[in-house]
Structure 1
Amino acid sequence: MQHTLSVVIVNYNVKYFLEQALRSVEKAIVGMDAEVWVVDNNSVDGSVSMVQDKFPWVQVIANTENLGFSQANNQAMRLSNSQYVLLLNPDTVVQEDSLKLCVSHMESNPKIGGLGVRMIDGKGKFLLESKRGLPTPQVAFFKMTGLSALFPKSRLFGRYHLKYLSEHETNDVQVLSGAFMMMRSSVLEKVGLLDEDYFMYGEDVDLSYRISLGGYKNVYFAGTTIIHYKGESTKRKTANYVKVFYNAMVLFAKKHYSSSVAGRFAFFIRLAIYLRASAAFCARLAEKIWLPLFDFLLIFIGYLGIAKYWELYHKFVRGYYPSEFFTLHIPIYIGVVMCTVYLWGGYDKPFVARRLFRGTLVGSFALFAMYAFLPKELQFSRAILALGSAWAVGAVFLTRGVAQSLRIGDIRFDHGGRRKVILVGGESENQRIENLLKRGRVNHEVLGWVSASEVRQNGFIGHLEQMSEVLEIYRPDLVIFSGKDVSSSRIMLHMNDFQSKPVQVKIAPEKGETIIGSDSKNLPGELFTLEVNYHLAQVHHLRNKRVFDVLISLVMLPLIPLLICFSGGRKCLNALFSVLIGRNTWVGYQRTGSTASLPKLASPVFEVAQQFKGTEFELDAVMNYARDYSVIDDLRILMSCVFQKTRS
């Protein structure tokens, strides 16, 4: 018996997003004759078992390798049996009536072969990839030269993202997004499935074009909205994305255009690859260095002002300090402070105030320690050093505060301590979410509950229709919606309240043990789960571990002549150079079946649980190391292992 709709979701290592997507699909297919397929491309995060345990009604295809987007979707489409097929990304949330409205619109318009919908990111911002034009040589030229960005509403230059068409109006378009692509099965039988020559990117463009060639229309349907957390832009700044995407466009041109046109198109595309890859590299470099550069300039200006003031009002001699003090010594002072800020995670996003403070404080202490060992002729002024260090603390906060207020560079402060949270839902659901936060070890303070109804209830600070006023009065860091008590459509409707506010928005799916959200299409977002949060999964801890490895290796380099003289010295020498180039780490754990879920590390020279090897405490020791890691642990374990080796 033929179903009305088959929903196909291809998954690769996004278990928690997939769970939320399936929860929303489960509600959306109520009253429909539908089947749901999940094709897993060899994920290692337990996605398959999660689907089988929590969604036994879903049909699962578990691949033993990553077959890519096209081939994986085709696997399910060939096995499906329905009038309509929907290709849906796992990082999406559909409204309760989205699928019914889409099917209804297609049934009332027999010439529609494919349909896409209005998509927004995790804070309600419209995603441009919801509606696109065909990448003809002319359209590609306008996009590559930036003319489409300069004249986005132009019907001539703006034909890639079709900005001249309202996002709130249904229109015929040329290209649909593979994140939500509903098609008639009869049309697919005529024009074919996804072209498996495309591994990733371009397959939706190719299929959309073939639907048009088959005599059918592609329609952007504005009658419903879905959330697409990551969006097309997640990896747009990476050189690899640029190469893969534009090579897909070359493949499209060779397939659908004449050889002469395809040749010219391929030339421009390859030129674009180099230009965009260079631009992507420069953009990423600028994104990484602009804040340290501003920090350096602001701290240097402060030091300069302090030194000049000290010359005039304490030394009473203009030009008392030599030029090398300003051109060499002050930059070195600043460099020491900025290095400690970096090592303490002061440049990791979101910015945590305590890391910034600790980094500058440790840097100041390091400066004074180094200063004490300098020759007298190089000890220019402790007072300037003290005042400059105090200024550095204020300067790093000032830079970020100004950038945040001016909305430059996606600066957002996370105090790293208590999050001020507002929960939106009924009493029982809000209590469940509070328990999730506690069990997930999220340091938080619940400011209050907002009722999902239109009437304010006792014990609640307001109801959903008062959300804008609640945000203004309470100024929370985080708002969590109950996926059970608040429909997806109402959540999306109220997302406009958050676009201009520095507040995160997350959804707690019904029956789920995760809280998911993302601030924009460019960010993967933050995930709260009941699983252990490992220190070794955090960037600044991994960086500190690597710095420790390099420093220990450098300290051991002068000992090479001695090492060669001792038995086992050659082995130690090999380990030293392997650690130095990053192939090994001094302290760590081996990746086995029992530790497969732990953060990945390089192979260790010394194992964390060496003393517990083969005992019941071995796994506990490894788990505790990964969860509570600090550089002190590596130093302690390294010294213990070296001591045992020398004794034996």
Structure 2
Amino acid sequence: MLSVVIVNYNVKYFLEQCLCSVKKAMESSGTHAGPDFQAQAEVLVVDNHSSDGSIDYLQSRFPFVRFIANTENTGFARANNQALQQCRGKYILFLNPDTILPEDAFGLCFSFMEAHPDAGALGVRMIDGSGRYLPESKRGFPAPWVSFCKMSGLTKLFPHSKLLARYYLGHLSPAATHPVDVLSGAFMWVRKAVLDKTGGFDERFFMYAEDIDLSYRIQQSGYHNYYLPTPTIIHFKGESTRRDVRYVRLFYTAMIQFVQKHFTGPGAWFYVALLRSFIYLKSIGTESRKEMKGKATSLPTSYITGNVENVVHIIKKIGNKRIIEGGPDSADELIYAEGLQYSFKDIIAAMQNNPAQKKIRIHAAGSNSIVGSDSKNILGEIIILDN
């Protein structure tokens, strides 16, 4: 029915929250996908030689997951393909470990794919760890003009222009369903029959641009890629890789690989030269950027809401934050405790109603951690709870 594939590299606590949400989504899928969905679904986690003890930590907590341990970091594309060879599902969901899903995610996606035989793949609306919409939820192919507008800043200046903002398809409403060019590899639901035609991810891409390449090949095979505004998922940014000089070089080198693979003609060399120049300029800017740190005058204040028994457990364990009872408005950050009284879907809805842009942390019922991420440029916060 469905095979969920997750590639992990040193993010065991974020993956813990992700797997908690995956489990709930599997249990809740019967409403849309039928009672047999959960029994036929499978979850495969490929660990790319993590040094944080991910498998030892997670295996006993999630016995329904099939863990595959690599002895080296094989890269995102190869690790996904490794799991793909073992998948039995009609649909394959390539999912990042730093994501959290609402309970109805699988059922809604399954229903859409069943009703749209022209759909080769779909992606969904994504928000970051503060509840902000992530524009990479839907993208256009990075043709020369599209990329020039993105790199030159024109896309940022005219975010809704059909001509100048095609990189993020800014002219298409994030609140509506659309056929789009590129889906994000953070959540990429693909028909297995289509992957049998196109093949999996191109392993020449070690990291980045492999989702663009696969999206392109899906369209070339005669199918459409769709963006869905519901369900909405959380995608914490900057967890598996930091947005540093190495990231800049890896990302734009992957873009050069994509251009060299799919673009020909006299303009291709200029496009590659433009990308190489941008790598150089962006690297200089990243290296020279100083991180500004303010001096904290007191312990940060946290307001906890959600499942009552989880709240009691968390209050006993947090030692570097001051828990307040006055209400969310007077707190520096909000901690949402998922459980019977507060679902992942409730948390995601509340996060999007965060006008003050407060820091948000999430604790899944039964997990041993609280996680949150405020920016794609720095690693998120992890609070480890004692058993």
* TM-score for the superposition, normalised by structure 1: 0.56
From 12, 16, 21, the counterpart of 1:19: 16
Q: What is the DSSP-based 3-state SS (H/G/I as helix, E as strand, rest coil) of the residue aligned with 2:350?
A: helix
For 1:220 and 1:351, the matched residues in 2 are separated by: 42
Asked if 1:267 corresponds to 2:295, the answer is: no
CA RMSD of aligned residues (A): 2.0
Question: What residue number does 1:490 align with?
Answer: 346
For 1:351 and 1:160, the matched residues in 2 are separated by: 38
For 1:94 and 1:15, the matched residues in 2 are separated by: 17
Question: What residue number does 2:248 align with?
Answer: 242
1:421 is displaced (CA, Å) by 2.7
Cα 1:156/1:427, change in 2 over 3 Å: closer
Question: What residue number does 1:120 align with?
Answer: 127
- Is the contact made by 2:11 and 2:239 (CA closer than 8 Å) also made in structure 1? no
1:212-611 superposed matches below 5 A: 212-230=219-237, 235-236=242-243, 238-258=244-264, 260-282=266-288, 284=289, 287-288=290-291, 349=293, 351-353=295-297, 415=298, 417=299, 419-437=300-318, 442-448=319-325, 470-472=327-329, 475-484=330-339, 485-501=341-357, 503-530=358-385
Deviates more, 1:213-222 or 1:144-153: 144-153
1:431 is displaced (CA, Å) by 1.3
Q: Matched residues, percent identical? A: 47
Structure in which a larger fraction of residues adopt strand = 2
Cα 1:247/1:274, change in 2 over 3 Å: same
For 1:46 and 1:10, the matched residues in 2 are separated by: 15
Cα 1:24/1:495, change in 2 over 3 Å: same
Question: What residue number does 1:155 align with?
Answer: 162
Cα 1:149/1:504, change in 2 over 3 Å: closer
Cα 1:78/1:25, change in 2 over 3 Å: same
1:492 is displaced (CA, Å) by 1.2
* Letter in structure 1 aligned against 2:158: F
Q: Whose relative contact order is higher, 1 or 2, with alpha carbons under 8 Å and at least 6 apart? A: 2
Q: What is the DSSP-based 3-state SS (H/G/I as helix, E as strand, rest coil) of the residue aligned with 2:21?
A: helix
* Letter in structure 2 aligned against 1:8: V
Q: What is the DSSP-based 3-state SS (H/G/I as helix, E as strand, rest coil) of the residue aligned with 1:125?
A: coil
1:153 is displaced (CA, Å) by 1.2
For 1:242 and 1:118, the matched residues in 2 are separated by: 25
For 2:141 and 2:161, the matched residues in 1 are separated by: 16
- Is the contact made by 2:9 and 2:50 (CA closer than 8 Å) also made in structure 1? yes
1:231 is displaced (CA, Å) by 5.4
Question: What residue number does 1:29 align with?
Answer: 26
Asked if 1:176 corresponds to 2:33, the answer is: no
* Letter in structure 1 aligned against 2:328: L
* Letter in structure 2 aligned against 1:15: K
For 1:270 and 1:17, the matched residues in 2 are separated by: 34
Q: Deviations over 1:253-291 (max 9, x none)?
A: 111122534323212211222222233334x1xx34xx6
* Letter in structure 1 aligned against 2:172: L
1:435 is displaced (CA, Å) by 2.5
Q: What is the DSSP-based 3-state SS (H/G/I as helix, E as strand, rest coil) of the residue aligned with 1:160?
A: helix
Asked if 1:142 corresponds to 2:149, the answer is: yes
Structure in which a larger fraction of residues adopt helix = 1
Gap regions ≥5 residues in structure 1: 292-348, 354-414, 449-460, 462-469, 532-648
Q: What is the DSSP-based 3-state SS (H/G/I as helix, E as strand, rest coil) of the residue aligned with 1:143?
A: helix
Gap regions ≥5 residues in structure 2: 31-36
- Is the contact made by 1:234 and 1:522 (CA closer than 8 Å) also made in structure 2? no
1:37 is displaced (CA, Å) by 0.3
Q: What is the DSSP-based 3-state SS (H/G/I as helix, E as strand, rest coil) of the residue aligned with 1:85?
A: strand
Q: What is the DSSP-based 3-state SS (H/G/I as helix, E as strand, rest coil) of the residue aligned with 2:324?
A: strand
Q: What is the DSSP-based 3-state SS (H/G/I as helix, E as strand, rest coil) of the residue aligned with 2:131?
A: coil
- Is the contact made by 1:122 and 1:505 (CA closer than 8 Å) also made in structure 2? yes
For 1:209 and 1:154, the matched residues in 2 are separated by: 23
1:494 is displaced (CA, Å) by 1.1
- Is the contact made by 2:242 and 2:379 (CA closer than 8 Å) also made in structure 1? no
1:447 is displaced (CA, Å) by 2.3
* Letter in structure 2 aligned against 1:34: A
For 2:179 and 2:168, the matched residues in 1 are separated by: 13
Q: What is the DSSP-based 3-state SS (H/G/I as helix, E as strand, rest coil) of the residue aligned with 1:42?
A: coil
Q: Deviations over 1:285-318 (max 9, x none)?
A: xx34xx6xxxxxxxxxxxxxxxxxxxxxxxxxxx
1:170 is displaced (CA, Å) by 1.0
- Is the contact made by 1:436 and 1:513 (CA closer than 8 Å) also made in structure 2? no
For 2:126 and 2:275, the matched residues in 1 are separated by: 28
For 1:81 and 1:278, the matched residues in 2 are separated by: 46
Cα 1:247/1:511, change in 2 over 3 Å: same
* Letter in structure 1 aligned against 2:344: S
For 1:426 and 1:184, the matched residues in 2 are separated by: 36
Q: Deviations over 1:471-497 (max 9, x none)?
A: 33xx01232211113111111111134
Cα 1:259/1:64, change in 2 over 3 Å: farther
For 1:232 and 1:519, the matched residues in 2 are separated by: 11
Asked if 1:50 corresponds to 2:57, the answer is: yes
1:444 is displaced (CA, Å) by 3.8
Which aligned segments of 4 or more residues in structure 1 are displaced greater than 4 angstroms?
Answer: 231-234
* Letter in structure 2 aligned against 1:161: Y
Cα 1:350/1:35, change in 2 over 3 Å: farther
* Letter in structure 2 aligned against 1:278: I
Question: What residue number does 1:94 align with?
Answer: 101
For 1:429 and 1:142, the matched residues in 2 are separated by: 47
Q: Deviations over 1:581-608 (max 9, x none)?
A: xxxxxxxxxxxxxxxxxxxxxxxxxxxx
Q: What is the DSSP-based 3-state SS (H/G/I as helix, E as strand, rest coil) of the residue aligned with 2:129?
A: coil
- The number of aligned residues is 376
Q: What is the DSSP-based 3-state SS (H/G/I as helix, E as strand, rest coil) of the residue aligned with 1:79?
A: coil
For 1:103 and 1:15, the matched residues in 2 are separated by: 28
Q: Deviations over 1:526-550 (max 9, x none)?
A: 111137xxxxxxxxxxxxxxxxxxx
Cα 1:427/1:252, change in 2 over 3 Å: closer
- Is the contact made by 1:121 and 1:231 (CA closer than 8 Å) also made in structure 2? no
1:85 is displaced (CA, Å) by 0.3
Cα 1:497/1:149, change in 2 over 3 Å: closer
Q: What is the DSSP-based 3-state SS (H/G/I as helix, E as strand, rest coil) of the residue aligned with 1:53?
A: coil
- Is the contact made by 1:70 and 1:198 (CA closer than 8 Å) also made in structure 2? yes
